[in-house]
Copies of this chain bind each other. A is one copy, B any other.
């Protein structure tokens, strides 16, 4: 058997501000076959997520940072190419924490922590399993449903509307009978969010100063009952100024702040929570792991019957990882950002 080579992207240094190519090192090493209980996965596609920026920082968070010299953490989809574990057969497609590399050897002891599970490509494509049916979809689903608790007729606003989480939130909120207003960057994304995903409106935050405030006034005339926040910063403050009594704000991320070298900008309108007896609550998707299968089953049904769509922005090639990741932070990605590592098994 020919020895296969595994190419890898490792964290070389912690970034200050926007992470450039100097933060990464490219390595290669022979692929190692799995021992008792382990599996070897050939990676098809990796999920690139805003949360990755946080994993690059030192310090306490909801999971430990990636260590210097370690393969960069990433969730992905791949094919089992060797198995010493009866639960996984060669040819199975799996979703797991695989890392930014071509092959991932998962020893028996690390299977559980990797979050590995088999996926059914008849239910959704590999990239859909990284989007609506994957972590972003689960984040949007449980954040909206469990924390937001949408009621028919309520107004739901979601930032990052064209992104992976935003797509799920907005489409689920429409299915639940809400008025849905997205916030996204640029006319093309906004058009797509309205025409393809069926949002009631989408505000282009890049349309100039005051665009979000004016857009909310026009498109959320009854105020905002639920705000699903992926961006933080000024947009969070603009929405806080328009919330209704007993509003729920889901804090999922703050992509506008992740590359700040100064302190995070706190929401200066937070006292709107007091006036409106409203709630702001953080969500971490892992807390809902025991119910992922229920959300997948529900949303797979919507994908099949056309009530939901799943758009991915697929970029090819492991080598492009440093630059592709930055698309998330300058708002260039159009749909869920996916790095395609291999064409097929």
- Interface residues in chain A, defined as those with a beta carbon under 8 Å from any beta carbon in chain B: 60-62, 232, 237, 251-254, 257, 263-284, 287
Contact = CB atoms under 8 A, between A and B. Distances in A.
A274 B276 CA distance: 21
Contacts of A252: 274
Contact of A282 (B267, B268, B275, B283): B275
A287 B277 contact: yes
Given A237-B266, A266-B265, A271-B264, A282 B287 contact: no
Nearest to A258: B271
A272 to B, nearest CB: 8
B275 A280 contact: no
Given A279-B279, A279-B281, A284-B277, A251 B268 contact: no
A263 B273 CA distance: 16
Given A232-B271, A264-B268, A266-B266, 20 more contacts: A62-B274, A251-B270, A251-B271, A251-B273, A254-B271, A254-B274, A257-B271, A264-B270, A265-B266, A266-B269, A270-B270, A270-B280, A273-B280, A274-B283, A275-B282, A276-B282, A277-B284, A279-B280, A279-B282, A280-B280
B251 A61 contact: no
A110 B140 CA distance: 48
B268 A263 contact: yes
A162 to B, nearest CB: 21
A274 B268 contact: no
19 contacts: A60-B275, A61-B275, A232-B271, A251-B273, A253-B274, A254-B274, A263-B268, A264-B269, A265-B268, A266-B266, A266-B268, A266-B269, A270-B270, A273-B282, A274-B282, A275-B282, A277-B287, A278-B281, A278-B282
A111 to B, nearest CB: 25
Contacts of A61: 275
B266 A275 contact: no
